[in-house]
Structure 1
Amino acid sequence: MSSIVISEFMDAQAVEDLRARFDLRYEPGLVDDAPALRQALAGAQALIVRNRTQVRAELLDHAPGLRVVGRLGVGLDNIDMDLCARRGIRVIPALGANAQAVAEYVIATAMLLLRGAYASSAQVAGGAWPRPALSEGREIGGKTLGLLGFGDIGRRTARLGQALGMQVLAYDPVVAAHAPVWRETGVQRRELDALLRECDVLSLHVPLTESTRGLLDAPRLARMREGAVLINTARGGVVDEAALADALRAGRLGGAALDVFEHEPLPAGSALAGVPRLLLTPHIAGLTRESNLRVSSLIAEQVGAFLRG
């Protein structure tokens, strides 16, 4: 039997599947109890996390027998990958398992932002009739979707956008200009500045690295097409939140939706408080009943297989 520690929430059936084969400690709130988490890892061979558990030296130093980290998601910025590699610790992300959920979030949110008519329930129920003010919404068909990052989630988002009649452009320096994926998907490759100028909807799908931190700063936000909408389901540090708030207050952008933030949860007095045409969700774009089942099942299977050798 091997010891597995799960420090954040995981689908119940996947937990029970692991419990049947391994010595298991599952506490979704363990991420918020650092001493208990360090103690739990003293004899652990596997750790399963989401995005809040910081898998860094201060944690790994308390896990001398750790062999594998399972990530219930795809972002790895909360895991010190170099240190894990040096210590021989395998890191397994749930690649592809929540891509459909994120892609659907992007397209649904883009439609909400473009139409701008779905916050009127209280007014209408109270007897108001704001029909003239809400009659200038925009259709998503015929608009240009720009994808900053063209991995699996970006490609799924492209397919959904194309199905609704959108033209899709993408910037991804990792995908070569001659790569077959451009021809196969019908997505047009652009450099970053051109992408910003041409798209009506900009959706971010890049990891948080030194090169992407602050990538969408004030000058780049100013290059976006007037009235365009921005959707970030990637990582909060990619967007300068104060600059985005300024652009929305100035009326240059048509709207924005942020599912991820520089600091999570948002601190009191955030620059994003009270900003017009801004939708905020608590890092849930990739979380649905279906995706949680897929992510949890995938990680349970792969971590279990790794421990069985």
Structure 2
Amino acid sequence: MSTFAIQTLNAISPVGLQRLDRDVFDLGTDIAAPRGILLRSADLHSYEVPSSLYAVARAGAGTNNIPVDALAVRGIPVFNTPGANANAVKELVIAGMLLAARNLYHAADYTRALVAEQGLSGSELDTQVEAGKKQFAGYELPGRTLGVIGLGAIGVLVANAAQSLGLRVLGYDPAITVERAWQLSPNIEQVTSVEELFSRSDMITLHVPLIEATRGLVDAQRIAMMRPGGVVLNFARGGVVDEQSVLEALDSGQLHSYVNDFPSEQGAVHPRVITLPHLGASTGEAEDNCAVMAAEQLADYLLHGNIRNSVNFPEVVMARTPGTTRLGIFNENKPNMIGQITAALADAGLNVAEFTNRSKGEVAYTLVDVEGEVRDGLKDDILAIEGIIRARRIDGPAPA
């Protein structure tokens, strides 16, 4: 039986790899002509993409390490795993809120220094602990207001958890999906602008991708709108926060703390910054969940042409029609593409048993099950249509 070769560019959880039938999928780190790539943080921007490649699957949510647009124009979907690590990140955000509110990070450093640096013990240690603890007095969360920017899988979990802890929660996401809206607690107020959220919040947490529209979203002007002594939590991407503005606000007292997952030379040593070493999804459960989801989506695409959770192509899922041949076709999103595709199939003497087409931005994807004998030259006829990006015959485990 023919196999699909899949190249792994990072250590992928064995729990996920077990979802790939070894009679159908050949896995390895050194594959010359892969049909699929499975990765976590490996940088594909300098990677020479082989003509054999059908798809890329990332075991994680962010895709900044992948040239998403460049792959789209070649008809290569990029899959991610939204929600698979959501609980892990949610727990870290809640921990960050408590670290900041109760000054726990710096209090622990203080206690450690009393012993490790000053050599105190016994009654001397007890005396110094009692004398110094006042400087770390914090505040409790109930009654404070948390602003959540981005109400996707993670943002909704954070908002709901924070509300259950007694915080007032404001949410902002102009592109919230119906699914996430249903999951959101009815006690959470959705505001209509980022500025309103900043002006009414004691704490801000970010759950948005790093794109041009979100770069530097937290800047000096918006920080100034917050209530004095505010907290910014960033477990999304480093670039969504203008760190220099945050550091200046910490120095002035406008901000009490900046908790983040993206170390920098300045931030790591600032006394009011709590910087973690990118722990967002660093749990065994999250790594397993992401690997399973990525492997299953990649397999479903290679075997059946279905696209789920792609960042550069629309979601297209169609049950296979018995006794038919399946074709997957990528094309530019412009008028009369469907008409030309179906005309080419009719000219080849094929009957369309099932057909679906979806578009996303400038590209579109078609799945079609046809009845009749598919001749060898059909692919070339389809590719000859102006605007067709890629076409393949999907014969289950046999690569087209």
- TM-score category by the smaller chain? 0.7 to 0.9
Quick one: distance in 2 between partners of 1:14 and 1:183?
29
Deviations 1:245-277 (A, max 9, x none): 22222222110111136xxxx4xxx23242112
Q: Within the alignment, does 1:84 sit opposite 2:35 as a pair?
A: no
User: Percent of pairs identical after alignment?
Assistant: 34
Question: Per-residue CA shift, 1:190-226, capped at 9, x if unaligned?
Answer: 2211211211111001111111111112222222221
Report 1:7-86 matches (<5 A). Answer: 7-18=9-20, 20-21=22-23, 22-26=25-29, 40=30, 42-50=32-40, 52-56=41-45, 58-59=46-47, 61-86=48-73
Provide, for residues 38-78 of structure 1, a one-character-per-residue CA deviation record: whole Å limited to 9, x for no partner.
xx46401111122x32334x42x432111111111111222
Work out whether residues 147 and 169 of structure 1, in 8 Å CA contact, stay in contact via their aligned partners in 2.
yes
2:92 matched to 1:105?
yes
Counterpart-to-counterpart distance in 2, 1:244 and 1:257: 11
What residue in structure 2 maps to residue 35 of structure 1? none
Larger radius of gyration: 2
Q: Secondary structure at the match of 1:18?
A: coil
Matches within 5 A, 1:156-171: 156-171=157-172
Question: Could you tell me which residue of structure 2 aligns to residue 248 of structure 1?
Answer: 250
RMSD of the alignment, in Å?
A: 2.3
User: Do 2:156 and 2:183's aligned partners in 1 also have CA atoms closer than 8 Å?
Assistant: no
Separation in 1 of the partners of 2:276 and 2:54?
Answer: 34
* 1:295–1:182 CA distance, 2 compared to 1 (3 A): closer
Q: What code does the residue aligned with 1:164 have? A: L
Which among 81, 95, 101 is matched to residue 114 of structure 1?
A: 101
- The one-letter amino acid paired with 2:296 is E
Contact 1:42 1:65 in 2 (8 A): no
Cα deviation for residue 290 of structure 1 reads 1.1
Looking at structure 1, the residues matched to 245 and 10 of structure 2 have their Cα atoms a distance apart, in angstroms, of 32
Segments of structure 1 that go 5 or more residues without pairing to the other structure are: 27-39
Shift of 1:184: 5.1
* Aligned residue in 2 for 1:209: 211
1:146 is matched with 147
Is it true that 1:272 corresponds to 2:267 in the alignment?
Answer: yes
**What amino acid is aligned across from residue 71 of structure 2 in structure 1?**
C
- Which has the higher mean CA deviation after the structures are superposed, 220-229 or 123-132? 123-132
Distance, in Å, in 1 between the alignment partners of 2:181 and 2:79 is 27
Instruction: Choose between structure 1 and 2: higher strand proportion.
Output: 2
Separation (CA, whole Å) in 2 of partners of 1:281 and 1:170: 25
Q: Distance in 2 between matches of 1:254 and 1:184?
A: 28
Q: Could you list the runs of 5+ residues in structure 2 that have no partner in the other structure?
A: 305-400
Q: Determine if contact 1:249/1:276 at 8 Å carries over to the other structure.
A: no
Deviation, 1:163, is 1.1
Q: Distance in 2 between matches of 1:220 and 1:252?
A: 11
CA distance in 1, matches of 2:185, 2:145: 19
What SS does the corresponding residue of 2:134 show, helix, strand or coil?
coil
TM-score normalised to structure 1 length: 0.84
Q: CA deviation at 1:92?
A: 1.4
